Each structure stands twice: as structure tokens, then as C-alpha cells.
Amino acid sequence: MPSRTRADIPIAVLTDFGYRDHYVGAMKGVIATIAPATRVIDLTHGVPPQSIVAGALALRESWTYFPKRTIFLCVVDPGVGTDRAPIAIETRAGARFVGPDNGLLSLAANAAGIKAIVKLTARRYRLADVSSTFHGRDVFAPAAAYLWRGVALRSLGPRIGGIEQLDIDGPVRSGNRLKGRVIYVDGFGNLISNVDRDALAELIARFPGRSAWVRIGNSAPMRIIEAYGHTIKGALLATFGSFNLLEVAVRDGSAAQQLGASVGAPLTVITRPG
């Protein structure tokens, strides 16, 4: 690893603003004005509109791949303009998070180990005019840029004791099966479920010698395999994907389309001999 200076620490940005409008561009303009030497990395701006769950999952699965002191500037904010608090978080792992206190930051921040949280109220670290509809530009981008410049977390506003948690309930075991559901559909049409590796391992441990299969609704059972490539074009398969969650995919196609399934669809893991 090379030695690091502040210039090496990026600001990574995650939003649901999409790519059609100038909203993300304006946020980057604000960062470039306050902290011109910052490197800004787009984590994604394609979070489905207002989907706090999808944003929180994307952040949880990607923050560990960034440099240690990265500042994550995250805006999926259906409550903008109401009294949900704008916050910034420092963690034991080094990562810093800036965004609305609505659960969006909770999965990643918990995993990184929360050290301190502040409510972003200091006027000098916001834009002079704060709109009621665009805190990404007027409140969150300035906070991230000033943090990057070395402004102390406590200068951004008063400490608060905790953050909103996001509840993503896990699957429920019932006899020799796990009952889960689709919680996210990615850009390829892959159906991502709430079944993690631990839940599957626990099921398999109870039924040694059996193998595990997956169904979406009443679909034909699919075997769980290691890699997309190990199957033929157009065939359905179940695997652990980039979210570290069990997902159903089609090689060179869209599982969502092929199965007519979307968020909320039941996913069942069953065990059977052989």
C-alpha cells in the first residue's frame, strides 16, 4: 500500500437521483467548490427511487472495498423537508457516512462500528440557502466536503445517541424449508432474497446428506450452484451473488421477466435427498 495523504481519500456518492437530471452534477459542483482536490467516486445513482432498503444493501455490500477513511455521501431521502434528521457518522473501521437518518446508513454503519453520530445543524457548514427539496446539494454535500477538508465531526452539529435502524427480517424455517422473499431486483433482473449464507448453512446442517433447492413462488426447483457460467443460456439458477444473499438468475437473461417475479415474491429453500 502506498502512503496516504488526504487527497487519497475519496468521497463516494450513492443516491436514487438517476442519471437523467443535473441533481448529482450539482452536488459534485458543491463538493468541487468547497474541497476542489477531492476525488469523487460514483457508488451508484441508480438506487430505485425512494428505496431505502436497496440503497442500504448496496452500501453494506460495497463500503468494505473502499479506502479506509472514505466518506460515503448517501441520499435516498423520501422524507426530505420533514423532521427526519440529517446526520454524519464516524466508525471504528474508519469509514464515515453522511446522509438522512432514515435507516439508509444503518446496515453499513453498524457493520463498521458506530463511534459517534452528529445531527447536521451548523449553518456555516451548509449552503447559505437551504431548499426544502434538495438537501443532497444544500446540506449533505457540504457536510461531506467539509469533513474531507478536516472539519471535526463535532463541529457539524450536536451529538446524538443513536440512528434509525432498518429492519430486514430474515427467512423463517419451517420443517425442512426456509421461507424467504425477494427483497431487491437488480439491473440484470436477478432476484435477490433475504436468505444469507448463515441461514442456509444452518438449514443444511440440520439435514445432512440432503441437497438444497430453491423455488420462487410455484416455480420448478432450482439447484444452488457456485457460478453463473456453470449452466446453459436461458437456464434458471440460484447462487450467492454480489450482495452475499441467495439470488435467482438466468444466464444471459432476466429472471424477473422469465418468472414474472418482483420485490416481495416468496422464495423457498427446500432440502431433499440427493
We find the least distance from the C-beta atom of residue 161 to its own copies, in angstroms, to be 23
Pairing of strands 172-174, 114-119: unpaired
Which of 15, 106, 194, 239 forms a contact with its own copies (CB under 8 A)?
239
With CB under 8 A as the contact rule, which of the stretches 110-118, 126-134, 152-160, 266-274 interacts with its own copies? Answer: 126-134
| Closer residue to its own copies in complex, CB, 17/97 | 17
We find the least distance from the C-beta atom of residue 125 to its own copies, in angstroms, to be 13
Residues 64-103, interacting with its own copies (CB under 8 A): 65-67, 70, 78-82, 84
Query: Does 235 sit near its own copies (CB under 8 A)?
Result: no
| Closer residue to its own copies in complex, CB, 253/266 | 253
Residues 10-29, interacting with its own copies (CB under 8 A): 10, 12, 14, 17-26, 28-29
Residues that contact its own copies, how many (by CB under 8 A):
75
Look up residue 145 and give its three cell numbers: 466536503
Residues 30-69, interacting with its own copies (CB under 8 A): 30, 32-37, 39-50, 58-59, 61-63, 65-67
- Residue 13's H or E segment, with its range, is strand 11-15
Q: Are 95 and 69 in contact (CB under 8 A)?
A: yes
Cα–Cα nearest to 89, from 40, 159, 4: 159
| Closer residue to its own copies in complex, CB, 55/177 | 55
With CB under 8 A as the contact rule, which of the stretches 169-177, 198-206, 240-248, 265-273 interacts with its own copies? Answer: 240-248
Residues 153-192, interacting with its own copies (CB under 8 A): 186-188
Task: Return d(Cα 98, Cα 83) in angstroms, integer.
Answer: 16
Q: Alpha helices of 104-259 — where are they, by DSSP H?
A: 106-112, 135, 141-149, 197-206, 255-259
We find the least distance from the C-beta atom of residue 122 to its own copies, in angstroms, to be 17
Q: Tell me the CA end-to-end span of the chain in Å, nearest whole number.
A: 47
List all residues 6 or more positions away from 237 whose beta carbon is below 8 Å from its beta carbon.
222, 223, 225, 228, 230, 231, 248, 249, 250, 251
| Closer residue to its own copies in complex, CB, 12/177 | 12
Query: Does 133 sit near its own copies (CB under 8 A)?
Result: yes
We find the least distance from the C-beta atom of residue 173 to its own copies, in angstroms, to be 26
Query: Does 228 sit near its own copies (CB under 8 A)?
Result: yes
Task: Return d(Cα 164, Cα 214) in angstroms, integer.
Answer: 33
CA dihedral for 78, 82, 84, 85, sign (positive or negative): positive
List all residues 6 or more positions away from 99 whose beta carbon is below 8 Å from its beta carbon.
72, 73, 74, 75, 76, 77, 86, 87, 105, 140
